[in-house]
Amino acid sequence: MRLVNILLSIMLILPIVSTAQPNMDWFRMYDINQVEEFVDIYTVADGGYAICGTVSIDERQYPDGEQYFWLSRVDDHGNQVWQGSYGIDNAINRASSLIETEDGGFLVVGRNNVEGHHVAALLTDADGEQIWYRTFRPGCCRAVIELKSGEFVLAGGEYGVAGLVMCINSEGRVLWETEINPRVERSAHSYFYALRETQGGIVLAGTINNLVIGVQHILWIAKVNFEGDLLWQRQYGNIENHQYWYSMVSAQDEGFVLGGTVGGTRENNRFVTDFLLSKVDDDGEIQWNRRFHFDLGNRNSDFQVCYNLVKYDDEGYALVGTLQSSGGDEIPAFIQVNNNGEELWRQMYDFSAEVDFGGSNYFYGGVKGHDNSIIACGIVNYIPAIPPRNGFIMKLEPYLRAPLIMFYEPEDTVFTVLQGDTVDFLVRAYDAQGDELSYLWTVGDDTISRDTTATYCFEELGEYIVTCRVSDGEFTASINWRVTAVEFYIVDFRPDSTEMTIR
């Protein structure tokens, strides 16, 4: 396998909204002299990343012909550790998603075309050695999770019929499977693309092709219990006639945030779609929807899709997707938003503007790195390669943030002490960039400590503001205590009610 490191010098960067966007840290392209595609990426617990996709043996037969699951493990800098291809010989084996299992192996899911389209799954050990490859029932699988109890749940659809949810064990044995029929009279191509474990069951999200009201794709979310019984389902078709949810993460507060695409036919008969970001509560009720569109000037971009959604450690989300220009070029793009879905920055990467790059470049998968950065994977059209369609991954520099104060004492930030009392203060903080932190404790204009702790004696009566500032040299976080020193205060009294009636 040939690993190609390329310095990209020409990028079309759209304007900053409110926060400076991070720069590209590195870019890696992977070429095994066949047609290669990466579609999903996973952060490995002990460092690095695992990426899955599909490798096509004969370019002349692409997108048909002999194809295999493709799985690769890279280190934190994108350097290959190992790679392998898997599946049934002389067949189409297409991977859709992967996870790292609790014991350090990898589970890759997708489909194959053995006697029609069937759900397929691959389990390997930590070194990529195949443990088993299974073909299941008719349909396809789009996503997979591992439950806290150790089983795996696969989500997708049965072609043209219903949404599909399956639970298997570590040997690949089916424990239960459920078809979920949309609440429409006629539907086709209804799929679940994402799922999350939650209290009392599993939430699934995707789309329904509603044939009753024409060719309209509507948003779909459902919940099953841990035995596969349907608890509820919701359908939303009131935005436009083309609506997909492709990705879902647990929200920073409660509920779920979903990414996808929304659009329809405009007055000039152009079909135009936007990035879609939605927030739903724990019962699947939509709280808000946000739409985002990139303006490419005279290069109209009609088809814009968020394929993956990434959740930052403590604030906001990143939308990872692709834009299609009127000239037929596909352009990978990012958008970062805060917890309310308000845009912070956006950036796109026009690889076709580079020497040796053609059009048809995609972001499909995205994940949060160990340092709170964003790593995306996809497909790039690198003309010198034979054939020119290669998998790639790209890392943005970590999103710089202020230190996070994790713990502090006293827990009450407003309290009263007696004149002459001494109080111990403590702050523990974390820096996402791994920078060394400095501490500055002040009372008014006086510095009382430069450590993680401070002790202060309140010798005079009155109000004091005790402040701890934590800095990584670029950003600063702070916390204040308002302390009042008095001659005395009432600790307790009886009766504990100051208003009473007696007789």
pLDDT of residue 13: 36
Dist. CA 383–CA 379, nearest whole Å: 13
Average pLDDT by stretches of 10, the chain with 503 residues:
48 39 86 86 96 83 78 95 95 96 97 92 98 96 97 90 94 97 68 96 91 71 97 84 92 94 76 92 97 81 90 89 82 93 91 78 92 91 80 85 84 92 94 85 96 96 96 90 89 72 71
DSSP 70-106: EEEEE-TTS-EEEEEEES-TTSBEEEEEEEE-TTS-E
pLDDT of residue 272: 84
CA 451 from centroid of its chain's CA atoms: 37
Instruction: Map out the domains of the chain with their CATH numbers.
Output: 24-396 (2.120.10.30), 404-492 (2.60.40.10)
pLDDT of residue 262: 93
Dist. CA 379–CA 470, nearest whole Å: 42
pLDDT of residue 469: 96
Q: Are 148 and 197 in contact (CB under 8 A)?
A: yes
pLDDT of residue 480: 95
Dist. CA 82–CA 3, nearest whole Å: 11
Q: How many CB atoms lie within 10 A of CB 409?
A: 13
Element (H, E) at 194: strand 187-198
pLDDT of residue 303: 86
Element (H, E) at 49: strand 49-56
Sign of CA dihedral 394, 43, 125, 55: negative
Backbone angles phi, psi at 49, to 5 degrees: -145, 155
pLDDT of residue 61: 56
pLDDT of residue 301: 67
Q: What is the total residue count of the chain?
A: 503
pLDDT of residue 485: 95
pLDDT of residue 3: 52
| Cα separations in angstroms, 263 against 203, 241, 485 | 25, 7, 62
